[in-house]
């Protein structure tokens, strides 16, 4: 069901309690709503972000201070919210307790999460904001693939804030010390051969492919880059497509790396710790970790593009965050829209890219100073919208697929029948839901 672009009425306490129960499967979002009244001359809006003091927070606070200085009629109060906590859970006490939620916030690009939010929470669409307060010229300068990723149906629900596509980050000392030059590696077959060389030096699996939370980002990137899709349209509506030939081949490649001792099936936190300790030389994950690794690692690091499957064109499902506004007061809507455009401007995007490693959501940013930033800008051109499972049980479907993939990677089960079983579970949860 496509969301309406109108501003919906606020949920009452009972309505949110019901929603909170259905969100226990791990829906991750941050929303926005009307905040304090401010003075007659100054509009005060609240902005929630997920940049900690040690991870891009200083850059974000500088941007907010700059915005406040440039817009004397608006005062933005920004707050850091722990990215490791499901943001919906953070908002539950606010809604249930009758407090006022923030005006501007960020939600994940994940399709089922965005679709779930758009159908359950009151929001003001970007379409409306641009119509009411101008901004169509601004939107015309945004890349089509980035805007498309922030849509549900035909509605521009949010405005991209920062992006991520799967990229490689590697320990230069270990990888090049093993005689491997990542600049010469472009395919998964080439990386498999290189991994064998690196393993002879390290004695441990040298690769890791993103496996975190329930977002299925790593598996979806592999399937899409191999020419497949995560979701397709069947006689009964949406259904999982991971068990198709392209999906089976892509996941067989991943499980093969794990079973041959060339890739670790660890979850994200363990993989990050192993990388920082120098035990895991190559991670294919979010570029957002680059800034943290670079500031804390005791060795040189560098980046490399996500490998392809031979000559098949790259399709890199987008990660990162987009900004959504729930403001219902017109003055707050206008102020929120100004802030959203400011944070998506070339200058702000360049500052966030430099501080975190996340990719800019537009191509007209000043050229990044380091090689990883320049590589990220090029990789962003291959970004495609995330495919997710529609309907109220979309998050549960994503959880079922993720749990199945974790089990598969940590077993010797044959891939094709295992994926068929995972797809059947997903189909049971999304049967009858319309295709997007």
Q: Which residue segments constitute the domains of the chain, with CATH numbers given?
A: 13-164+318-384 (3.40.190.10), 167-317+390-430 (3.40.190.10)
Q: Which of 239, 237, 164 is nearest to 401 (CA)?
A: 239
Placement of tokens 């294919």 in the chain: 284
Residue 209, both tokens: 């492919």
pLDDT of residue 1: 33
Q: Check: CB of residue 180 under 8 Å from CB of residue 196.
A: no
Distances 402 to 198, 211, 299 between C-alpha atoms, Å: 29, 9, 33
pLDDT of residue 99: 59
Question: For the chain, what is the radius of gyration of the CA atoms?
Answer: 22
End-to-end CA distance of the chain: 9
Contacts of 66 (CB under 8 A, 6+ apart): none
pLDDT of residue 51: 85
Strands 104-108 and 207-209: unpaired
pLDDT of residue 3: 33
pLDDT of residue 382: 93
pLDDT of residue 93: 53
What is the rounded CA–CA span in Å between residue 159 and residue 325?
Answer: 9
What is the rounded CA–CA span in Å between residue 379 and residue 167?
Answer: 8
What is the rounded CA–CA span in Å between residue 384 and residue 380?
Answer: 9
Give CB contacts under 8 A, 24+ apart, made by 221-224.
Answer: 221/165, 221/166, 221/306, 221/315, 221/316, 221/317, 222/250, 222/251, 222/253, 222/254, 223/247, 223/250, 223/251, 224/315, 224/316, 224/317, 224/384, 224/387
- Residue 4 is classified by DSSP as P
Contacts of 379 (CB under 8 A, 6+ apart): 165, 167, 287, 305, 306, 316, 359
Q: Which of 223, 281, 287, 210 is nearest to 252 (CA)?
A: 223
What is the full per-residue pLDDT of the chain (436 aa) written as tens digits?
Answer: 333 222 333 333 223 223 333 333 222 333 344 444 444 689 999 998 888 887 789 999 999 999 999 999 999 999 888 754 444 455 545 544 555 678 998 888 877 778 777 877 778 999 999 999 999 999 999 999 999 999 988 999 999 999 999 999 999 999 999 999 999 999 999 999 999 999 999 999 999 999 987 789 999 999 999 999 999 998 888 999 999 999 999 999 999 999 999 999 999 999 999 999 999 999 999 998 998 899 899 999 999 999 999 999 999 999 888 999 989 899 999 999 999 999 999 999 999 988 888 999 998 888 777 899 889 989 999 999 888 888 888 889 999 999 999 999 999 999 999 999 999 999 999 999 988 6
Q: How many CB atoms lie within 10 A of CB 158?
A: 28
Placement of tokens 């994926």 in the chain: 419
pTM recorded for the entire structure: 0.83
């Amino acid at each position: 069901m496509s969301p309406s672009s109108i501003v919906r009425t606020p949920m009452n306490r009972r309505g949110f309690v019901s929603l909170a129960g259905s969100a226990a499967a791990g829906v991750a979002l941050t929303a926005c709503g009307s905040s304090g009244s401010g003075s007659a001359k100054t509009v005060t809006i609240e902005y929630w972000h997920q940049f900690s003091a040690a991870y891009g927070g200083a850059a974000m606070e500088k941007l907010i201070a700059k915005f406040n200085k440039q817009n004397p009629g608006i005062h933005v109060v920004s707050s850091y919210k722990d990215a490791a906590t499901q943001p919906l859970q953070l908002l539950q006490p606010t809604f249930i307790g009758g407090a006022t939620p923030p005006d501007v916030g960020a939600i994940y690009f994940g399709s089922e999460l965005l679709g779930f939010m758009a159908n359950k929470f009151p929001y003001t669409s970007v379409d409306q904001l641009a119509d009411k307060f101008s901004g169509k010229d601004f939107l015309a300068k945004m890349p089509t693939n980035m805007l498309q990723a922030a849509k549900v149906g035909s509605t521009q629900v949010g405005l991209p804030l920062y992006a991520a596509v799967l990229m490689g980050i590697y320990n230069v000392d270990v990888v090049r010390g093993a005689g491997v030059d990542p600049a010469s590696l472009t395919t998964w077959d080439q990386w498999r051969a290189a991994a064998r060389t690196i393993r002879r030096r390290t004695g441990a699996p040298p690769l890791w492919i993103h496996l975190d939370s329930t977002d299925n980002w790593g598996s979806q990137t592999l399937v899409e880059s191999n020419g497949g899709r995560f979701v397709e349209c069947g006689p009964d509506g949406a259904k999982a497509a991971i068990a198709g030939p392209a999906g089976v081949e892509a996941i067989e490649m991943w499980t093969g790396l794990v079973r041959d001792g060339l890739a670790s099936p660890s979850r994200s936190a363990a993989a990050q710790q192993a990388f920082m300790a120098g035990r895991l030389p190559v991670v294919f994950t979010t570029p957002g970790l680059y800034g943290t690794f670079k500031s804390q690692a005791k060795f040189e690091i560098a980046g490399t593009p996500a490998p392809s499957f031979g000559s098949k064109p790259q399709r890199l499902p987008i990660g990162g965050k987009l900004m959504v506004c729930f403001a219902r007061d017109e003055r707050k809507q206008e102020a929120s829209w100004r802030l959203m455009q400011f944070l998506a401007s070339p200058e702000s995007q360049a500052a966030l890219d430099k501080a975190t490693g996340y990719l800019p959501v537009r191509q007209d940013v000043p050229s990044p100073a380091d090689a990883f930033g320049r590589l990220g800008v090029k990789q962003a051109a291959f970004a495609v919208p995330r495919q997710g499972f529609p309907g109220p049980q979309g998050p549960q479907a994503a959880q079922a697929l993720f749990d199945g993939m974790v089990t598969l990677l940590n077993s010797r089960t044959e891939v094709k029948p295992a994926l068929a079983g995972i797809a059947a579970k997903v189909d049971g949860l999304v049967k009858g839901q319309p295709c997007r």
